Structure 1
Amino acid sequence: MWRGMIVFAGLLGAAGAAHADSRLFCSADDAQARFTLESGFANEGGHRLNHFRGALIVKDPAQAAFAKRLFESQHLSNHWSRDGELLLEVFDGGGDDTSGATLDLVVVAGARGKPAANFSGTYSLTIEGGSKPYAAEGKVSCGTK
């Protein structure tokens, strides 16, 4: 009898943990850029970031330093996920391989008060500090996993 109750309690605890977090993804592919971003947020108060990763290809040949970039949690400089609204800001400070240029990618998607499994929005991409500044905007598709 006790074993059954312990197993039942363990299953309830595991079920709660399985639904405690949400994973969001966004992607875009247009004439300027192609990227995918994936992030995980805790559902409890504060919506703490659990993980973040992404990949970006800038299609403009003049931006060869940022032609292919991979992103991890340290690149996510600002994030917000609440009640159907999503904001992600990815900042890549570059390095020796970018000659001092920096990249800023901002995604704004969804609508507050209207959570959905799939939603859309916009992105803006800026590259500054290189030989030629660059700016691009476009549409982004997002969803939950």
Structure 2
Amino acid sequence: MLTRTAFALLMTLAGACEAQAAERIYCAVDDAYIKMSLESGFDAAGGNKLIHFRGALTLKDSKVPGLVETMLLNSGMLRQRWMDGKDLRLLVYSETSGDGPFAALELTIETSATASDPDRFEGRYAVVIETAEKKSSTPRKTAMSREGDLLCELK
């Protein structure tokens, strides 16, 4: 009887602790314009649902007022994402707050899996920073626009 009870308890606990298959994407670039590392986790079993997103972006040649040179990126800044096994697309957006000068950063990442290694994604990034005297001011000026190559890996 004790064996049956222990077995039933073990099976109940095993069922309650289902493993969640997750895929992690790591992206990195260090070129003349930016130094960036990103990590994003997707639920592989649940339609590639986003689990988390984080990273750091350093603008090497930024002279944009009100914008820090190194920014920590998080899931709240991720506006769009696409991951289907062959393509990875991310759109990150962040803006300054307060009454001072306004700056908005948009980071776009577009990659595709390589033919030789489906866990390796190569592509491009684009960083655009727009500024204005205040958030409500129009038109905004493009203060910086940079593009470059990017490498991502599925872990």
1:66 deviates by: 3.6
Paired residue secondary structure (1:62): coil
Q: Specify the alignment match of 1:47 in structure 2.
A: 48
**Matched positions, count:** 143
Q: Specify the alignment match of 1:29 in structure 2.
A: 30
1:7 deviates by: 3.7
Q: Which amino acid aligns with 2:143?
A: P
> CA separation in 2, counterparts of 1:101 and 1:95?
9
Aligned: 1:142 with 2:144 = no
Q: Structure 1's 98 and 120: CA in aligned 2 closer, same or farther, altered over 3 A?
A: farther
Map 1:68-79 to 2 at 5 A: 68-79=70-81
> CA separation in 1, counterparts of 2:129 and 2:73?
15
1:9 deviates by: 7.2
List gaps (5 residues or longer) in structure 1.
Answer: none
1:92 corresponds, among 94, 99, 124, to: 94
> CA separation in 2, counterparts of 1:113 and 1:82?
15
Verify the 8 A CA contact 1:109 1:119 in the aligned structure 2.
yes
> CA separation in 1, counterparts of 2:57 and 2:99?
16
Q: Structure 1's 117 and 111: CA in aligned 2 closer, same or farther, altered over 3 A?
A: closer
Moved over 4 A (4+): 8-14, 112-115
Q: Structure 1's 61 and 108: CA in aligned 2 closer, same or farther, altered over 3 A?
A: closer
List gaps (5 residues or longer) in structure 2.
Answer: 133-140
Verify the 8 A CA contact 1:62 1:132 in the aligned structure 2.
no
1:46 deviates by: 3.4
* TM-score calculated relative to the size of structure 2: 0.77
Paired residue secondary structure (1:63): coil
